[in-house]
A and B are shown apart, each in its own frame.
Chain A
Amino acid sequence: MSADYKTVIGQHTYRFSGLRDVMAKASPRRSGDELAGVAARSAEERVAAQMVLADTPLKAFLNDPLIPYEDDEVTRLIIDGHDKSAFSPVSSMTVGDFRNWLLSEAADASVLKRLSRGLMPEMAAAVSKIMRLQDLVLVGSRMRVETAFRNTIGLPGRLSTRLQPNHPTDNPAGIAASILDGLLYGSGDAVIGINPATDNTGNVVTLIKMLDEIIQRYNIPTQSCVLTHVTTSIEAIERGAPVDLVFQSIAGTQAANEGFGISLSLLKEGFEAAQSLKRGSVGQDAMYFETGQGSALSANGHHDVDQQTLEARAYAVAREFSPLLVNTVVGFIGPEYLFDGKQIIRAGLEDHFCGKLLGVPMGCDVCYTNHAEADQDDMDVLLTLLGTAGCNFIMGIPGSDDIMLNYQTTSFHDAQYARQLLGLAPAPEFDQWLQDMAISDAGHRLLVGEKLPAPFQHALEQS
């Protein structure tokens, strides 16, 4: 199935070798595609590719998979799971028509929700490539993906946070100190989630129990997670650990997932193990996935497909397992994939848009490393735009400094900024707890000053 992908600009005819080439060259500039050798070679070639892409029918992605069906189980998942009747409202559109339609009033929240199973991730990625940031924000803000475990995440007017109390040696007092700091700043409704210092199963089980006891002791309507490999979580469940959420990093190709030591069948095992515990109260969405542009190239499993399209394919993997949280760790990977603040900001908004369009409960780790050309100002821009785009959740860490993973993400203060500026509240069940504890008031303003809420005052006195 080959179409002729070309366009004439002035005296120059731009030819593209196929849909995969058009997609890569139409991608807004980023270092990872240049590293892979798939990017446009000039600014004009990029726009030429975007024009060709805009004229390409959405159906082309069904007929001409970017990664062959026979070679890749993620492609098989996408093609076999494609819902033709859900696709029908847009099935005759080109990518350019699709952008116009998404921006029109016809595409309201309920229409977009019904559409999601009819879309392939490649279609979402394609349209995002010809959208400006304002398009990504506007359409993003219309889409809601709500999930629930011990609270409800993704409701309109809400912004949740993962409290990330990492410590380089998993020191219990050190972790507890960051948890207390976060809770008293209103953080932790998405999850209290630790990146452990070691993947040793015994340690992971101890951490899971510790978080469970803290959540129970203080009656916090939230869930815990220790971000370890899915096989370790399965083993922890077998050992009787009180696992709320099963975590895994995922990518958009079979080869990249093999690099993570996973397959779709292993994810299904993790999903079933998590479901077997039924530990949620208001819902049972029990998976937590992390993704990020560039991970497939980094694992040498990219098939010459651009990194943004591969990222969207990871959401097709995620949505099979009704996750509570999907988090694009956008700036963690480094400047060889996303060079600077401009590239990180755009990638974060693309990921949020594509994830939501595909029906995934999208959050974002608004972050950067010290070798990227980015700083706090760039993160403020991305955070503010994601807040306006209706992002489900962000990270929360003391003073933006992850002392274990050596990168910078959003602080507890940053989340307060976004909530205050944009009139956003935490998840309703958690919000009620914050008010009951007098951590914040009904207007979501912080109350804690000299004196702590009694249970935390008591804890502090024991320290």
Chain B
Amino acid sequence: MKQIASDATEQVSVIDNPWASLRQYTDARIGLGRAGSSQPTRPHLAFQLAHAQARDAVHLALDTEKMTQELAEFGDVIHVSSQATDRATYLCRPDLGRRLDAESTERLEQWAASGAPPCLSLVVADGLSARAIHENVRAFLNIFVPMARDEGWSLGPIVLAEQARVALGDPVGELLGAEVEVMLIGERPGLSSPDSLGIYFTYHPHSGCRDSERNCISNVRRAGQGYEEAARLLHYLIREAKALGASGVALKDNSDTSSELGNGRDGNFLLS
């Protein structure tokens, strides 16, 4: 029987798009070609794979053993859980994901009774992608923690949180008496970014903080915003927040490097 080679051969019944070279300008799924007017098999299955990876990232449990070991390098590790007892509850009840359960509150109170209030409290939380935590947190902290120490910022315990939303950091920071709360949390996985880490920080954290009182650095991952750059930005922003005595919209965020638009014409081949 004749062997049909995979990538090298033309796909049978597929009309290719001669503009596939434009993919150099975007990660969008352009120039896929068509079978009739439908998506050909290869791009169809590539999409299915990306969705499967994003779905798996949402449901992957946080590997607390591995993370406890990794985080021990940076300080005491305290485990906490939100009031969302499982993934299904977590997804449907964002309110529960923002509250600590009773045991976790007790653990944090015990720590606070024995230690001085830290300058920074670090929370590492699964959020919507434990994969983002497994793959990025250690590399990020390896750069950020020495920066914080050089500044003389005292670090509280590293709080490892399960089934957590961003605002769970508020009661954690409040109980520890931290000046600044930093939360490293798995972001909502995108189709091409199942491993994206979000970093939120809040000056003077307390239960009931509004989202407008936080700042965020997002898309931190190997193929996204780099660790070095993210650590430097966080370091800069915390210094600004401490000087200002506030975070969130009050803090002028000069980090807006999000646009490559220019005059809209340069590089725009449709207008050349």
Contact = CB atoms under 8 A, between A and B. Distances in A.
Contacts of A335: 91-92
Interface in A64-106: none
B80 to A, nearest CB: 21
How many chain A residues sit at the interface, stated as a range, is: 35 or more
Contacts of A179: 270
A11 interface: no
A304 to B, nearest CB: 16
Contacts of B190: 370, 403, 406
Contacts of B112: none
Given A370-B51, A411-B39, A180 B15 contact: no
Nearest to B53: A370
Contacts of B266: 172
Interface string B83-96: 00000000111110
A252 to B, nearest CB: 21
A170 B260 contact: yes
Most chain A C-beta atoms within 10 Å of own C-beta, residue among B30, B47, B258, B263: B30
B9 interface: no
Nearest to B190: A406
Interface stretch (A201-209, A307-315, A316-324, A346-354): A201-209
A200 to B, nearest CB: 7
A168 B15 CA distance: 29
B12 interface: no
Contacts of A399: 28-30, 32, 39, 43, 47
A207 B262 CA distance: 10
A265 interface: no
A198 B17 CA distance: 31
A247 interface: no
B191 interface: yes
Nearest to A405: B190
Interface in B16-49: 17-19, 21-23, 25-32, 34, 36-39, 43, 47-48
B98 to A, nearest CB: 12
Contact of A459 (B188, B256, B269): B269
Most chain B C-beta atoms within 10 Å of own C-beta, residue among A35, A179, A371, A445: A371
A203 B272 CA distance: 20
A406 B91 contact: no
B95 A35 contact: yes
A167 B28 contact: yes
Contact of A406 (B32, B58, B188): B188
Contact of B25 (A171, A416, A450): A171
Contacts of B91: 335-336, 339, 371
Contacts of B48: 376
Contacts of A334: 188
A197 B258 CA distance: 7
A174 B22 CA distance: 8
Contacts, number: 200
A442 interface: no
A55 interface: no
Contacts of A206: 261-264
Interface residues of B, number: 58
A400 B264 contact: no
B272 A462 contact: yes
Most chain B C-beta atoms within 10 Å of own C-beta, residue among A334, A397, A406: A406
Given A174-B25, A177-B28, A399-B30, A203 B17 contact: no
Contacts of A50: none
A420 interface: yes
Interface string B247-272: 00000000010111111111111111
Interface string B74-85: 000000000000
Interface stretch (A115-123, A127-135, A210-218, A270-278): A210-218
B50 interface: yes
B54 to A, nearest CB: 4
A7 interface: no
B29 A398 contact: yes
A453 B80 CA distance: 60
Given A214-B271, A336-B91, A339-B92, A417 B38 contact: yes
B192 interface: yes
B125 interface: no
B173 interface: no
Interface in A386-427: 397-401, 403, 406, 408, 411, 413, 416-417, 420
A171 B26 CA distance: 8
Interface in A147-198: 165-181, 184-185, 197-198
19 contacts: A35-B94, A168-B258, A173-B267, A174-B26, A177-B30, A181-B17, A181-B22, A206-B263, A217-B270, A335-B92, A370-B54, A370-B55, A370-B57, A371-B91, A399-B39, A401-B192, A459-B270, A459-B272, A460-B22
Interface of A: 31, 34-35, 165-181, 184-185, 197-198, 200, 203, 206-207, 209-210, 213-214, 217-218, 334-336, 339, 369-371, 375-376, 397-401, 403, 406, 408, 411, 413, 416-417, 420, 445-446, 448-452, 459-460, 462-463
Given A171-B25, A198-B256, A206-B262, 20 more contacts: A170-B260, A173-B25, A176-B25, A177-B22, A178-B26, A180-B19, A180-B22, A181-B17, A181-B22, A185-B37, A210-B265, A336-B91, A336-B93, A370-B191, A375-B51, A403-B190, A406-B188, A459-B269, A459-B272, A463-B25
